[in-house]
Amino acid sequence: MNAYDYIEDYLNEELSGAALGVFEHALQNDPELRQAVERHRDMLGRLHTLRLREQVKKNLVSPRSGAAMLAVVNRRFLAAAAASVLLAAATYFWLTLPPGTESPAVADHIATPPDSSSVQPAPLAEESPVQIDSGQQTPAQPRSNGAAHADDPGARIAFVEAVRGLEKIDYIVMGETRKDSLLESTLNKAIHFLKTEKPSSAIPLLESVLAQNNTLYQDDAEWLLSLAKLGRDTKAGKAALEAIVQNPAHGYRRRAISLLGKLE
Amino acid sequence: MPIFIVWALLCISTALNAQSRKHALLIGVGRFTSPEFSTLQSEQGVQLMCATLLAKGFMQENISTLIDANATRENIDRAFARLEGQISPGDVVLLHFYGHGVQVDDDNRDEADKLDEAFVPYDGRFADSRHHQQLLRDDDLGQYIDRLRARAAGAGGQVCVVLDACHSGSGLRSAGTYATATSNPPRLTRDPTGDAGSSAPLVVFYSSMPHQSSLETVVETGKRSALLTWAFCKSLGSLRPDATYRSLYEQVCLRIMEKVEQKQTPLLEGVPDYLVFGERLNSPPPYFRVLTLLGSKALVLQGGLLHGLQAGTELMFFPPDTRDTSRISPIAYGAVADKGLGFLECTVQLDRTLTESDALHSWVFVRAQRYGTYSVSVAVDADDPATGEILRRQLSEVPSLVFDSASPPELLLRSRRGRKLALQTPDGEELWNGGYAGTLPPDLRRTIDNFLQARFLRSLAFDGSPYRIGFSAGIPASGSPATPVGLSVRRNKEVTLLHVENLSPFVLYYTVLDIDARHAVSVLIPGAGWSPTEFRLKPGEKREHRVTFDAPGREVLKLIATLTPVDLRDVVASRGEAYEGKHFFEQLFARSYRSRGPVGMHVGNEVGGATVIVDVVE
């Protein structure tokens, strides 16, 4: 029995009988195993926190009770009223401008008419809240994602192309280092979120992997995090990609250069 | 009738023997007596290799396999002994290792990083780098391969090794290409080419650099495989008949990159310019490889200022294994762009669109060198006015030379009686002399290039670089402290001790260039037989090298530090041969650098470095 393969089972209290005895014996005698167990425990804790957070988000977005629904309606009414006041003020301001002048702030936001010949991808669908550990997504109402790429369709195309090619991470190191299946499963969950265009859900997972400082997965996590950031915000994504390009020893530098080239 | 039967049997036997000249020993260890190693799919890997070799003309009866419980250390030793007995002169031998690899303490001081690499047999045990049993060290493996090479020596003989394990780079220490412990930088103990006739040529595919892990992962069949084995078999299966090990290696690299990008860097060692399981070809001219595409008509090339590429340099793109660029048309032309030109990489604008596959596989040759802002002023002093005029006209066609009467010349070309030429520095040092028959002698051009190249390198300064590295020299016997400048040593007698220390928070690789008194540039470290991957320092780590100088004069030693290993000797093979007796690096530099700027004009941003000056006296 290789005790390292049973860490997750042990922490999930799924070991029993002789297997549990063997594992606990190994745990007593192997300090590295103890460290690995602590690392896994920490990671599970982070995932649990994330799951709770997602659950809270889900409950906020999908209110079930009548009282909660009423509260949402009230909030929407107040928001609509505030927006009406702002719109009226802006209209008054615009009407009182001298002819021929234009507010720079307004000019900056005048949208260029779309080129009918170019590809106009649909805006990213915001991720649905997801049950992390169930392995199944809970369908929920799609929300606006804040139009992350509304001003940069090229970035959206680059993001979609980049995540389409992602493959499941499943490494066995042909040396003395042991496989860290928990980190791999976390990365693979993040890849799933990216491929289903839910970058915001991928980010905390990837940050939790990076916090482990595991050199085997560091570059993977940084690369995926840069994609997740790109999926949410072009500027942040570019900055993350540039950080990878600046490191000649980074395992994903070549892909980062190529992706940045597409974004230019 | 009986005579005819005997004759027929002899013919059949001869034919069978002719076909049986390819031998293979495939060793896959995926299960171990020791619990610390994870299980690997070595059996599948060996089966894949076996099927690939059968398709490539190997006979089943000449393929031996050792898998899992059969691959004990003792059985591996026996298998090598048996194979040695089966090999005849001129045979081709392929060795494949698939399993775990570890690093252990060096036991004979032949490793730059003080660590031996070792393959783990079924009964191998590994607690830490000091406590282990039954491992197959690189030194042991190297000796086995030396013996196989000796047996296979002869026309057509060849030994190819595929070593797929963690830390496999340099996993064949002492297999004919490595130094003994006493010299550092080392000398070749034996020629890897086998040209001497005493041993067959060797080519080795390593799955990763010495400090790197090798990976087993899921490949497109849905099965798990070690990456080198998978990429080697897949590439070999689809290889053109006229492909060499060089292009096979490049395909292997690209396939591995498709799977895991650059997390795992395979290495090639030995003689890449052989047809796969076939005869030797000429070495190609120096060429570059593409790193990645940047949009449809631009790309990043793996070569920059340090490789002699300047803005405007014209390039030609050819399919892999192109050795004669005059016989086929390039698939594209390009030029080095101003923007994106660095020490190690540059951006190239293409004249047409290339597919990613064509670009990544292509070999890129220099079509026309450009010198950018670099130039040198020259004056002609001829006792015959007519010859002086002809020389000025010929020199004016050399783009890097200028005739600037307003400032003192940096080089002086003297002509005597229209037949003798001499190139001198203003202080009278003669750089070259020779005859003149109406055209500029190539040696003269090369000497001018060397002068410029040396001056460019001397001008490199790294003050602003984050890759800080300490570099100093001393004499071990004197007990005097190391000094960065002004060390005086006697030629061929005194050993100079070079101290290198990584003062940065990064892991750094380093290479040392030697610019001698006659402005010739050579690569001092890594020496012949060593890989750039082995000159790697962790933060705070120190290393010493012993060198002797054989010519009097001032030696400028330039250490260049990078985050990734850079081989300035050869773009592709980490321990390959030199090109036609002249170093690749020198060829690349041969028409490169022209500089009129002040000393220290170049500040390294991608590279760090330091300078040591040694005065060699009689």
Interface of A with B in 12-41 (CB under 8 A): none
* Whether the Cβ atoms of residue B269 and residue B204 lie closer than 8 Å to each other: yes
User: Per residue in A97-151, pLDDT tens?
Assistant: 444 343 333 333 333 333 333 333 333 334 433 333 333 333 333 333 433 565 6
Q: Return the percentage of chain B with pLDDT > 70, whole number.
A: 81
Residue B605 sits at the chain A interface (C-beta within 8 Å): no
Instruction: Give the number of other CB atoms < 10 A from CB of residue B472.
Output: 17
CA–CA dist B165, B118 (Å, integer): 9
Residue B557 has pLDDT above 50, yes or no: yes
Residue A43: DSSP 8-state = H
Interchain contact, A251 vs B262, CB within 8 Å: yes
Among partner residues A172, A249, A262, which is closest to B40 by beta-carbon distance? A172
**Low-confidence residues of chain A: pLDDT under 50:** 62-66, 68-69, 72, 96-147
Residue A214 sits at the chain B interface (C-beta within 8 Å): no
C-alpha pair distances (Å), A162 with each of B293, B373, B541: 14, 39, 39
CA–CA dist B461, B451 (Å, integer): 18
Among partner residues A174, A255, A258, which is closest to B99 by beta-carbon distance? A174
pTM over 0.90: no
Average pLDDT of B122-141?
84
Q: Mean pLDDT score of chain B, rounded to an integer?
A: 80
User: Per residue in B431-443, pLDDT tens?
Assistant: 899 999 989 888 8
* Whether the Cβ atoms of residue B23 and residue B61 lie closer than 8 Å to each other: no
Among partner residues A1, A171, A252, which is closest to B217 by beta-carbon distance? A171
Interface of A with B in 220-239 (CB under 8 A): 220, 223
Classify residue A100 as left (phi > 0), alpha (psi -120 to 50) or beta: left
Residue B240 has pLDDT above 80, yes or no: yes
pLDDT at A209: 95
| Nearest of B565, B560, B470 to residue B113 by alpha carbon | B565
Residue B452 sits at the chain A interface (C-beta within 8 Å): no
pLDDT at A147: 37
User: Per residue in B488-528, pLDDT tens?
Assistant: 888 877 888 899 999 999 899 999 988 877 777 778 888 76
CA–CA dist A67, A76 (Å, integer): 14
Query: Which has more confidence, B356 or A111?
Result: B356
Least confident of B229-243, B447-461, B592-606: B592-606
Residue A219 sits at the chain B interface (C-beta within 8 Å): yes
CA B536 to chain centre: 16
Best residue of B36, B38, B230 to probe chain A, by most A CBs closer than 10 Å: B38
pLDDT at B247: 92
User: Per residue in B285-343, pLDDT tens?
Assistant: 888 999 999 888 999 998 888 777 888 889 999 999 998 888 899 999 999 998 888 88
Which helix (H) or strand (E) covers residue B523, if one does? strand B521-525
Tell me the pLDDT band of B374, cut-offs 50, 70 and 90: low
pLDDT at B401: 77
Interface of B with A in 123-152 (CB under 8 A): 126
Residue B189 has pLDDT above 60, yes or no: no
Q: Is B593 helix (H, G, I), strand (E, B) or coil?
A: coil
Nearest-Cα distance to chain B for A16, in Å, is 21
pLDDT at A124: 39
Residues of chain B found within 8 Å of residue A168, distances taken between Cβ atoms: 218
* Whether the Cβ atoms of residue B500 and residue B537 lie closer than 8 Å to each other: yes
Interchain contact, A173 vs B166, CB within 8 Å: yes
Structure tokens at B498: 């070079």
Contacts of range B523-528, beta carbons closer than 8 Å, 24 or more positions apart: B523/B568, B523/B569, B523/B583, B523/B585, B524/B185, B524/B557, B525/B185, B526/B185, B526/B567, B526/B569, B527/B179, B527/B184, B527/B185, B527/B186, B527/B187, B528/B185, B528/B186, B528/B187, B528/B188
Interface of A with B in 161-190 (CB under 8 A): 167-168, 170-179
Residue B564 sits at the chain A interface (C-beta within 8 Å): yes
Residues of chain A found within 8 Å of residue B38, distances taken between Cβ atoms: 2, 4, 172-173, 178-179
C-alpha pair distances (Å), B51 with each of A233, B211, B233, B236: 49, 31, 9, 11
Burial (CB count <10 Å: 0-12, 13-18, 19+), residue A259 = buried
Interchain contact, A2 vs B606, CB within 8 Å: no
Interchain contact, A174 vs B100, CB within 8 Å: yes
Structure tokens at B202: 């060797």
Place of tokens 């392929």: B94
Least confident of B166-175, B180-189, B603-612: B180-189
ipTM of the complex: 0.74
Interchain contact, B262 vs A254, CB within 8 Å: yes
Residue B22 has pLDDT above 90, yes or no: yes
* Whether the Cβ atoms of residue B364 and residue B288 lie closer than 8 Å to each other: yes
pLDDT at A85: 66
Residues of chain B found within 8 Å of residue A255, distances taken between Cβ atoms: 261, 292
Interchain contact, B100 vs A247, CB within 8 Å: no
Residue B254 sits at the chain A interface (C-beta within 8 Å): no
Average pLDDT of B404-417?
83
Closest residue of chain B to A30, computed from CA coordinates? B36
Residue B344 sits at the chain A interface (C-beta within 8 Å): yes
pLDDT at A137: 38
Residues forming beta bridges with residue B206, ordered by sequence position: B163, B267
